[in-house]
Amino acid sequence: MTISSGETTATATATARATATARGATTNIHHATAINRNKYEKLITKPRSQDAIAETETNGSASATATATATPAPIGATTDRTMLLPLEDTNAAAGIVTYKQKSNGSASGSASGHGNGHINSSGSGSGSTSCSTSSSTSIGISSSGSGSGGSHLGAGSSYSMGWTCHCCNLIARRCFGINVRRCVLALLAITMVTIFYYTHYVDTDVFNGYKIEVAGKSLPVLTNLDKGRYGVIVFENLDKYLNMDKWNRELLDKYCREYDVGIVGFLSPSEETLVGAQLRDFPLFVNTNLRLRDASLNPGSSVLRLTRAGETAWGALPGDDWAVFQHNHSTYEPVEWAQRNTNEYPADSVGQVQLPLTTVLQDRGHLDGIQRVLFGSSLRFWLHRLVFLDSLSYLSHGQLSLNLERMILVDIDDIFVGEKGTRLRPDDVRALVATQKNIAAMVPGFKFNLGFSGKYYHHGTREENLGDDFLLQNVQEFNWFSHMWKHQQPHLYDNLTLLMAEMHLNYAFAVDHNIPTSSGYSISPHHSGVYPAHELLYVAWKKVWNVKVTSTEEYPHLRPARLRRGFIHRNIMVLPRQTCGLFTHTMYIDRYPGGRDKLDESIQGGELFQTIVYNPINIFMTHMSNYGSDRLALYTFQSVIKFLQCWTNLKLASAPPIQLAEMYFQLHPEEVDPVWGNPCDDARHKKIWSKTKNCDSLPKFLVIGPQKTGTTALYTFLSMHGSIASNIASPDTFEEVQFFNGNNYYRGLDWYMDFFPSGEALSLPPSNSSSPSPMPTQAGSPRYMFEKSATYFDGEAVPKRTHALLPHAKIVTILISPAKRAYSWYQHQRAHGDVIANNYSFYQVITASDSAPRALKDLRNRCLNPGKYAQHLEHWLAYYPAQQVHIIDGDQLRLNPIDVMNDLQRFLKVQPLLDYSNHLRYDVKKGFYCQALNEKRNKCLGKSKGRQYPTMDERSGKLLQRYYLNHNTALVKLLKKLGSRPIPQWLKEDLSTGT
């Protein structure tokens, strides 16, 4: 069960529903007419239901694949592949593109069987459009005359999940800065699991977050004071709602009525077949375990918003466990209908008129005051995903609504790149221009975006070289961006001058051939250097091309595509890039993975279709080779845009990359900051990462602080170990890199890794020839790298950032009395000449109000906030398991460092163990342990360490005991929860004094 909400008072009237739709009148489904029959085979666009065979999709998600039976070709005959290639006599002036067949070297014959057809499309875009999904595997668009007549789209009815649910990442997690699309995607994913769950808004005014909770037998808290916490309830299994115990059911129904909360329910499949069975407590009857076909929507339904009614999804629907509803009350209205599959029940259909069966039903609440939308099947059927989005929007009164505007940009990489026989010819360029005109009629502002590598200009056959020339003659027809001159991968360059020289060659080529150079957009071949970020690429892009925007499919990972994100690095906006199923070698339909059916499946409600539905901004990657040969890219994009127009009310448009990037980060401001991952954890990332980088040099553990707890002493003790090495010292922050918690993070991963050289460049830990020899280290043996930055402990973004880069690292923290730590930090600042610390007493600092000067508040916060130990440890434990976190008692580190270091070595599993009793000695003058250089001489920390401060005043001490009482209590509970961690003596004393 899912609950999505905006907070609403019980007395408030129901918000007006956001159901404004741009529904067109139902159009008639008709046959496409054959044109020039002596040249072209007529496309089958009317559904041939007798030939449809329902199949079950593997990997756990069912789909229906419609297969058309074809007349077998004579033995020895060669069947033509479906070509999407225009004739030489294409009437470009009239905007008509006629796609023909081409055998690609094989004997030509009559088209038959799967995947053979042609497309005629009107370039003007005028005339009425009619769409249908049919059981034929061919798609055809025909136009009469110059585009003034009606056009028809027929599409194979095969369905795909399009994306896989990874619900474990979404359940029981609080998210901030997440927009409507992300929330809806989460709901779509969660709806597929067989558990109860609840969703509600964190901030309903700006709608920037949601929460998903897993619930057991009892309901969660439904209200917060006088406000309802939830706005939509989704039952993945409606039986859970119908069979809820009386108390909870009455409580939930009362809540729904008082706060105008709607319910979405899915009938779950069961082995028992029900015929006319009444749903408990409702005048509603169901028949289950049916096979259905030919789904259509009710044009008068008030639920529909994004989804456009008026068409029919012809063919068998996925699965054999559908439920249909029968009702006898005016509160119910069908949203979706389907027909019984007469192929499966031939005896039942003889001489009978097939009446539509209700598969999605709206309950308008006239019966009990609660609005509902009930589904007779799951989200396996692509149309149900659209109706589900609309149900969430309708029942949440518009709060859970996707914007209807979609931006589309299609990049064509590798212009001029390609082997002979795979490049563009003049007629391919004509088809490109004509199809662009067709798409622009449906998508305002649309232009193909061409990325070029000038080195390979005129490297094809004679006809392909003419194609290069013809492309440049039409240079103003397209948008352009720079690839690399020789299509090199930038991460292979470690010299900025050489990298810029290659870019200058491509720039000069552009100038010589009148190619625009001011797009501010560039794509790196194979996405090399974009992520993981190769800093030289970003610098060279700025200097040569003034790049402001790029895109990649690699951030944070290639799959799943729905989780791709954007970021900004070195003032270059990086947008997520999507694929359309066409890759460099995808040139012929008969070689497409899965064949024509698989491509059509993606277009007709599958992955490509869903990508555009869920993403407000879509940048698609294609390649030059996709526009020659069978011209699959032209077919794919024109078809999916037509399909979107038929089945949705989305408003499609296009814009240049810079404008799209500005729009994207306005929609997703939370994505501005990058999160650097570990390239070695992803095989694809490792291939496009600098060869000079080595993941083995990254730290294996971090000493995270907090400050003034003994981290410098621990750093010194660790450096005595022959198998342990730390980062190179920073000229600004000395032994601390402070990468994860400040502006250094924006310098990038390369900057961080420069502090961890590998091999011979790694300096030995500090030692003295007269001191006892540390354990010997074998030449070439790996060092156990670590970093100490005491500001990491309480950094808000640090745990997330460190886990992204170092998920397997061990975390070491030191805790002392938080009151003593706060006082020590104040005295530290006084000793370093801090003006505020030297002009305000400690008591004045820790009692400063929020209206105090900013510098005083900052000092107050740095004194007090790190001492909220439980709060910060919980933050770290949200990313790292307890087995990777080691907590050191700071008092024990000072009083008994030998035992502490032995415990730490065992935790780190570092070998061999160093006997610290031979290396540490108590120094009477300093009052703590120091490194023993010889029998008589110690090497202690500097004068600033171990400084004796005046005793804290009693008033401040009592105030801090009270201030930290709840935090210390929480720390005790946390330590007990973690187990095998003794309660420090200082913590016991602080609690006894505080109470």
Quote the tokens at residue 557: 């990972």
210 among annotated binding-site residues: no
Phi, psi of 390 (to 5 degrees): -70, -35
Q: Which two tokens stand for residue 15?
A: 């918000």
Q: Is 87 helix (H, G, I), strand (E, B) or coil?
A: coil
Q: Which of 455, 642, 708, 868 is catalytic?
A: 708
> Is 949 marked within a binding site?
yes
Q: What are the average pLDDT values for consecutive 10-residue runs of the chain, which has 995 residues?
A: 45 34 31 30 29 34 32 33 34 36 36 35 38 40 33 33 31 38 59 36 34 62 86 91 91 95 94 93 95 96 97 95 95 97 63 82 97 97 97 94 96 96 97 98 98 98 98 98 96 96 98 97 96 97 98 92 93 96 90 93 96 96 96 97 98 98 97 95 91 87 96 93 91 91 93 80 41 47 85 96 96 98 96 95 96 96 97 97 97 95 95 91 82 83 71 96 96 92 93 75
CA distance linking residue 524 with residue 293, whole number of Å: 46
**Residue 824 assigned ligand-binding role:** yes
Q: Which residues contact 527 (CB under 8 A, 6 or more apart)?
A: 552, 553, 554, 577, 688
Q: How many CA atoms lie within 13 A of 370 on its CB side?
A: 23
Dist. CA 748–CA 38, nearest whole Å:
63
How is the chain split into domains, by residue range? 180-210, 219-343+354-395, 405-683, 702-758+781-794+801-993
Nearest-10 crossing angle of helices 382-395, 607-614: 20
Same fold, 405-683 and 702-758+781-794+801-993: no
Residue 303 burial (10 A CB sphere; 0-12, 13-18, 19+): buried
Is residue 22 within 8 A of residue 305, CB to CB? The reply is: no
Q: Under CATH, what is the fold of the domain 405-683?
A: TIM Barrel (3.20.20)
Are 606 and 382 within 8 A, CB to CB? yes
The answer to whether residues 949 and 824 touch, using CB atoms and an 8 Å cutoff, is yes
Is 708 one of the annotated active-site residues of the chain? yes
Q: What is the dihedral of CA 540, 543, 545, 546, to 10 degrees?
A: 120
173-176 and 810-815 beta bridge pairing: unpaired
The predicted structure's pLDDT at residue 207 = 33
Question: Does domain 702-758+781-794+801-993 bear CATH number 3.50.50.60?
Answer: no
- Transcribe 696-746 into DSSP letters: GGS-SEEE---TTSSHHHHHHHHHTSTTEEEPPPBTTTBT----TTSGGGG
Q: Which CATH architecture has domain 219-343+354-395?
A: 3-Layer(aba) Sandwich (3.40)
Q: Which residues contact 136 (CB under 8 A, 6 or more apart)?
A: 43, 44, 45, 46, 47, 48, 66, 68, 154, 156
Nearest-angstrom CA–CA distance, 55 and 135 = 12
- Angle of the 954-963 helix axis to the 965-978 helix axis, nearest 10: 50
| Rounded Cα gap, residues 570 and 550, in angstroms | 12
Q: What does the longest C-alpha to C-alpha distance in the chain come to?
A: 110
Per-residue b/e over 894-913, b at no fewer than 16 CB within 10 Å?
beebeebbeebbebbebeee
| CA 928 to mean position of chain CA atoms | 51
> Torsion angle of alpha carbons 474, 475, 481, 485, nearest 10°?
100
**Is 0.85 surpassed by the pTM of this model?**
no
Is 929 labelled as part of a ligand binding site? yes
Half-sphere exposure of 407 (CA within 13 A, CB side): 18
Output the CA torsion 419→421→423→425 (10° steps). 150
Q: Is 946 annotated as a binding residue?
A: yes
